[in-house]
Chains A and B, each alone.
Chain A
């Protein structure tokens, strides 16, 4: 059948089927062959709809679409998703390469048995059009992107149907023929996917690999040689599970996993310069570490960080939890400027809070709705302001860790002391011998002595006070004043995000799409406690999916959802949807226990797999999307640096307290305690992919740069650890170089050295000259140099 004359097809005379497909397409979850973020241009959509879809419809859909009576070859060509997925023979299209595309080969009638359509070869001009389309990249518009008309409103019912907004279900675990491969529910789901893709799991990793993997994973430190030996030779049936328990009970566990949370919470030890010093920020970090160690149920963990100050069951010791909000980034406000400028800065800060809370707890980019309805997710402009009002009614303050009834007295005393201190400073400038100084100092001592708990520790917290940006005077040039009021405030919707163009007043309430009925009001005080209730109530399924995926990501190096902080439409769909549902549902059933979740994951055969390469499987799934092996993971800066310190015998395992500067040579504490300066990260952290501490960071990046290489070769830190390791080997292992080499390998790599490695070491040590400067030293320089080579090696940095 000849192709219709396409040039005559004007948009006004689109055939009915096309109109229909566009309309239906509005809510279809179609996938463009384009990558997620490249929206096809209108021209491309038009090109496709006018030239390509009619051809596909005319010649292919009868057998390759949802309408097909019998779908042929498992291939559908009627949505982008199906085209991308391909059919029984594999992908139908290779965008950009018509010659490699099965569809094109078929329509060219090469006589290889796949000639399509079976009724007869298409006319040359139709083939040419399809070839041209594939060479241009085979743009297949995501049908809902065709909707270019401005939004007039959000269809909430449709919005709620998106997968991540659904209630949690408990899917049935697939029946797997190979029962050995399905030791746990996780394995059943993973194996089913593997089988679907013609893959199979890898064998378990050996014991030494497992203990190194587990140890870095759970406590961020390498196992000691003694621990390795014990585990490798432990024949008890539950040796592995026992090891998991020992590591989960270790106080170092919280230091490792707390850091994961601190990335999300944009934690910094030193915040913006205009805030003065923040010597107490570490109390939030230490609270997070403790919460992980205590396995504080995740719902409690969330609730306390948002609103522990309003919970009856928690006391002053939990106040630092509020550091999630209390240590938020702030933007400089020049109060000489008029209020309309300062209002924008303040609105930017509220946006930051909405963004951090939305992405951390809900995996939603709610802040995108500040200027207009969210472009992709069902989050309205009103939703944004309904939530922002909570943060507009919340003030960051310092607070002593005491019962609330003492606040007033301590605050008053501190104000009095501050006044006197200021006067002392002024007096000193004029005359350091002024007798008033001694008198003021005496008064200060008296005030402190008379105030119980005056020296109680202080934390960065929040309290319910609303911020109002007002003119400083009647004169328009007078600048701005910031006024805090005890009563909370609702915000006016700001037209196009501009607080100087107020629209309707939006009462504080939870976001619509996650509310089955009328959204819950967030009106008790600031509304923080109500917000926590909403996140853990009507939004609990989403909150659970998000945290479960984060923990999974940390174990496997990659999430079930690839975008850990975006569970909206621009996020990626889960690779194993049922597995995520199952884990999230059972996580909630098991009391939101993170340690339960760890056990569930770590006990699986999926986790215990070897990371070994397999040419066949790699060809099928280079990305390891279907988990046919364990991902080889590169250590982040924290465990890498800690491992060097530990091997060198220098690591100080003191838990908690103020941070230590990165370049302080005496800093041998865990890297968790290295000062994170919000505006200026230390070079060491900056070089090694430490996340920007003014931003919620969903996941660590791993870059490989020569500058990191220079750190290995030349940094005082690595050099010092090499020296310490060499000295340790020298002192602890009398006897032959080979014994020392063996000890080094066990300390660093949790395994003995091979003969070849020992030989390499011996050759190196024989030939390396001893530098004159080092002659007096007991340890030959060559050993120090050798130790540095081991510390810099890939084997230390990567975990199988």
Chain B
């Protein structure tokens, strides 16, 4: 066990800043910022990539709670054949005891040029299947929501590592200095909170900005976004003064990443006032667009995601809902109808929209939960967590569409062929962003850390 785990309060982030080609690292030496507005963003400027990126930005549609693979993209006729049974010889051992196999009520049809099976629960999304690569063989390490959410976001099941969005910003910087580079949308809260978008030992400026979009009024989306008293120019002068005082303070104390990060975040805050108001304001969208996405929190999240990536936000995560709505421990089949109804149109609309704007080719869209669900029943009509095998899909951003990759067993329980671990998914996402997951490292407490730790294989088979 390492004795040098980062403590949350005394993390030296200094080393990194010095590696950012000057960046904030030089600030301590400068008596004043030539232009405070620039000083705050230096650490977020785009960095060099390892090779030509296929994706410039990522939208992650997070089905928190964990959808059941065989309802959507991984048809398993054996579930009906052996309904209620636990066939002899089948290894269906789940974390907590479950009953017999519970058939999915979904039907499947071969869709698109390559005849990829898609569930009737997702009729509109099925029209996009030629842009979608279904990964059927994901697997993760832990069947509990907290650790699994953590792994999907941070690569490990413990809350001490940077989230993938922080690694994206560390590797690529932000395209828009006036918005956070990494925004997490959730109408409410997922069951784990800030640790899912933490920057851990990476600079704090790389952490995700959480936005509860349950209420769409821009000033309510982002608390304290508006100033009731000052004109913007007066406030800029006020902030210039504050930053000059902060620079004097920093100069007297030598380098200190915590001080520097706060200086940077104040600049971002200032610019957010105008830029975020506009970016988060869905009233700028045409009626036709709004209609295409439909209504509801998830639809709003998808549309906001498009507006945000369009404005250079590097990574937008959209959590489907408050808590863990996909966690269907009981009454699974009824619940999943409603959940699919909710996501089908907005997800399809997002893909259409990105395509129409010419953005799909360099925007990677990721869909999936923190794990899947059991093919066997829990409490008669529910399904339990299943991290042994589950589906996710990727679209755009250099991914081959109209294909599936990997297989689960005949019951959809375990990934068995061309398995893709969460580490492999992360390695692949980084690859698409032009980053080598083995070279995107951060030296901390005696070793070089990676998003993929010592694991990860780029799933080259799905790349364009």
Nearest-neighbour CB distance to chain B for A559, whole angstroms, equals 7
Min distance, Cβ B15 to any Cβ of chain A, angstroms: 7
- Of B64-72, B131-139, B267-275, the segment with at least 4 beta carbons within 8 Å of chain A is B267-275
Q: Which of B222, B269, B454 contacts A137 (CB 8 A)?
A: B454
Q: What 0/1 pattern do residues 433 to 461 of B give for CB contact below 8 A with A?
A: 00000100100011111000111000000
Contact, CB under 8 Å: A632 / B1: no
For B9, the closest partner residue in chain A by CB is A557
Asked if residues A713 and B8 are in contact (CB atoms below 8 Å), the reply is no
- In the complex the two chains form, is B12's CB within 8 Å of A36's CB? no
| Cα(A32)–Cα(B3), bound, Å | 10
B117 at the interface (CB under 8 A from A): no
Interface string of A772-792 (1 = CB under 8 A from B): 000000000000011011101
Q: Does A97 contact B (CB under 8 A)?
A: yes
Known: A702-B258, A714-B226, A785-B234. A790 touches B245 (CB 8 A): yes
Q: A702-716: which residues lie under 8 A (CB-CB) from chain B? A: 702-716
Contacts A96-B448, A498-B97, A769-B234 given; indicate if A624 touches B10 (C-beta within 8 A).
Answer: yes
B446 close to A497 (CB less than 8 A): no
Which of B204-212, B290-298, B303-311 sits within the interface?
B204-212
**CA A84 to CA B242, docked complex, whole Å:** 44
B302 at interface by CB-CB < 8 Å: no
Report 14 cross-chain contacts, Cβ distance below 8 Å, ordered by A residue: A34-B453, A37-B158, A496-B97, A570-B1, A623-B12, A706-B268, A713-B227, A713-B235, A713-B266, A714-B273, A757-B245, A768-B234, A786-B241, A798-B259
Contact B226 A795 (CB under 8 A): no
Q: Is A50 an interface residue (CB 8 A)?
A: no
Contact in complex: B262, A31 (CB < 8 Å):
no
B246, A712: Cβ atoms closer than 8 Å: no
Nearest CB in chain A to that of B447: its residue:
A95
Docked pose: A709 CA to B454 CA in angstroms? 37
Task: A704 to B193: give the CA distance in the assembly, Å.
Answer: 15
Whether A713 touches B198, Cβ cut-off 8 Å, given contacts A35-B5, A692-B193, A699-B8, is no
Instruction: Given A623-B10, A710-B224, verify A573-B1 contact (CB < 8 Å).
Output: yes
Q: Please, what's the 1-or-0 string for B122-166, where 1 marks a CB less than 8 Å from any CB in chain A?
A: 000000000000000000000000000000000011101000000
- Which of A38-46, A513-521, A599-607 participates in binding chain B? A38-46
Compute the total of residue contacts between A and B using a CB distance below 8 Å. Answer: 246
Q: Mark A15-46, 1 if CB is under 8 A from B, else 0.
A: 00000000000000101111111101100100
Q: Contact at B10–A789, with CB atoms within 8 Å? A: no
The residues in B between 47 and 102 inclusive whose CB is less than 8 angstroms from any CB of A are 95-97
- The reply to whether B253 and A706 contact each other, CB–CB distance below 8 Å, is no
Q: Which 8 A-B pairs have the closest CB atoms?
A: A709-B269, A613-B254, A622-B12, A704-B204, A706-B268, A706-B269, A789-B242, A137-B454
Residue from B194, B207, B231 with most neighbouring chain A CB atoms (10 Å): B194
Kindly supply a per-residue 1/0 record for chain B positions 150-184, scoring 1 wherever the CB is within 8 Å of any chain A CB and 0 otherwise. Answer: 00000011101000000000000000000010000
A506 within 8 A of B: no
**Across-interface contacts of B273 in A (CB, < 8 A):** 710, 713-714
| Among B9, B194, B245, B445, residue most surrounded by chain A Cβ atoms (within 10 Å) | B9
Residues of A within 8 A of B (CB): 29, 31-38, 40-41, 44, 84, 91, 94-97, 136-137, 139, 142, 340-341, 496-498, 501, 557-559, 562-563, 569-570, 572-573, 575, 611-613, 615, 618, 622-625, 631-634, 683, 687, 689, 692, 699-716, 719, 754, 756-757, 760, 764, 767-769, 771, 785-786, 788-790, 792-795, 797-798, 800
What residues of B have a CB within 8 angstroms of the CB of A632 in the complex?
Answer: 253, 256, 258-259
Query: With an 8 A cutoff between CB atoms, is B14 at the interface?
Result: yes
Is A713 a contact of B224 with CB atoms below 8 Å? Answer: yes
Contact B256 A613 (CB under 8 A): yes
Shortest beta-carbon distance from B381 to chain A in Å: 12
Are A709 and B270 touching (Cβ within 8 A)?
A: yes
Instruction: Tell me which residues across on chain B come within 8 A of A786, comparing CB atoms.
Output: 238, 241
Q: Which of B10, B205, B245 contacts A704 (CB 8 A)?
A: B205
Residue of A nearest to B12 (CB): A622
- Contact residues, B184-238 vs A (CB, 8 A): 193-194, 198-199, 204-205, 207, 209, 222-231, 234-235, 237-238
Across the two chains, which residue of chain B brings its CB closest to A614?
B254
Q: Closest residue to A30 on the B side, CB-wise?
A: B1
A705 and B234 alpha carbons, distance in the complex (Å): 23
Task: Say whether B250 contacts A794, CB under 8 Å.
Answer: yes
Given contacts A35-B2, A703-B198, contact A760 B241 (CB under 8 A): yes
Residue of B nearest to A139 (CB): B454
| B245 engages A634 (CB within 8 Å) | no
Q: A340-B379, A692-B193, A706-B266 are in contact. List 6 more A-B contacts (CB 8 A).
A: A137-B453, A632-B256, A709-B270, A714-B273, A719-B228, A793-B242
Min CB–CB distance A627 → chain B (angstroms): 10
Asked if B248 CB lies within 8 Å of chain A CBs, one says yes
Q: Judge whether B244 is part of the interface by a CB distance below 8 angstroms.
A: yes
Q: Residue A687 contacts which of B9, B95, B160, B223 (CB distance < 8 angstroms)?
A: B223
Q: Decide if A707 touches B8 in the complex (CB within 8 Å).
A: no
Q: A703-B207, A769-B234, A794-B259 are in contact. Are A612 and B272 (CB under 8 A)?
A: no
Q: Is the C-beta of B35 less than 8 angstroms from some C-beta in chain A?
A: no
- A35, A496, A563: which contacts B449 (Cβ < 8 A)? A35
Contact present for B224 and A711 (CB under 8 Å): yes
Q: Given A623-B4, A707-B222, A710-B224 in contact, is the A634-B448 Cβ separation under 8 Å?
A: no
Asked if B46 is at the interface of the complex by the 8 Å CB criterion, the answer is no
Q: Are A712 and B269 in contact (CB under 8 A)?
A: yes
Q: Chain B residues near A712 (CB, 8 Å)?
A: 266, 269
CB neighbours (8 Å) of B230 from chain A are: 785
**With A and B bound together, what is the CA distance between A800 and B272 in angstroms?**
30
Cβ-closest chain A residue relative to B158: A37
Pair A95/B245 contact, Cβ less than 8 Å: no
Min CB gap A343→B, angstroms: 12
**Residue on A with the closest CB to B257?**
A704
* Distance (whole angstroms) from the CB of B169 to the closest CB of chain A: 13
- Whose C-beta in chain A lies nearest to the C-beta of B204? A704
Is B7 among interface residues, defined by CB-CB distance under 8 A? yes
A764 and B224 form a contact (CB under 8 A): no
Q: Tell me which residues across on chain A come within 8 A of B241, comparing CB atoms.
A: 760, 764, 786, 789
B45 at the interface (CB under 8 A from A): no
B263 contacts A by Cβ under 8 Å: yes
Residues in A neighbouring B204, C-beta threshold 8 A? 702-705
Q: Are B5 and A572 in contact (CB under 8 A)?
A: yes
**A346–B269 CA distance with the chains assembled, in angstroms:** 44
Report how far A277 CA is from B241 CA in the complex, Å: 46
Report the Cα distance A793→B448, complex, angstroms: 34
Measured CB to CB, the nearest residue on chain A to B242 is A789
* Most chain A beta-carbon neighbours within 10 Å: one of B158, B223, B272: B223
Q: Which residues of B contact A573 (CB under 8 A)?
A: 1, 3
A44: chain B residues at CB < 8 Å are: 454
**Interchain CB contact under 8 A, A612 and B454:** no
Contact partner, B245, options A633, A689, A702, A793, Cβ 8 Å: A793
Residue among A623, A692, A793 making CB contact with B246, cutoff 8 Å: A793
Q: Are A558 and B9 in contact (CB under 8 A)?
A: yes
- The answer, yes or no, to whether B265 is at the interface (CB within 8 Å) is yes
User: Is there an interface contact between A800 and B253, defined as CB atoms closer than 8 Å?
Assistant: yes
What residues of chain A lie closer than 8 Å to B239, measured between beta carbons?
Answer: 713, 789
Cβ–Cβ contact A713 & B265, under 8 A: no
Contacts of B255 in A (CB 8 A): 613
Return the chain A residue nearest B96 by Cβ. Answer: A498
Is the pair B194, A703 in contact by a Cβ cutoff of 8 Å?
yes
Select A95's contact among B1, B244, B448, beta carbons within 8 Å: B448
Least CB distance, B338 to chain A, in whole angstroms: 19
Beta-carbon nearest neighbor of B379 in chain A: A341
Chain A residues positioned under 8 Å from B448 (CB to CB): 94-97, 137
A38 adjacent to B265 (CB under 8 Å):
no
Contact B3 A710 (CB under 8 A): no
A498 / chain B contacts, CB cutoff of 8 Å: 96-97
Q: In the assembly, what is the distance between CA of A38 and CA of B448, in Å?
A: 13
Give min CB distance, A134 to chain B, whole Å.
11
Cβ–Cβ contact B180 & A706, under 8 A: yes
Nearest CB to that of A797 among chain B residues? B262
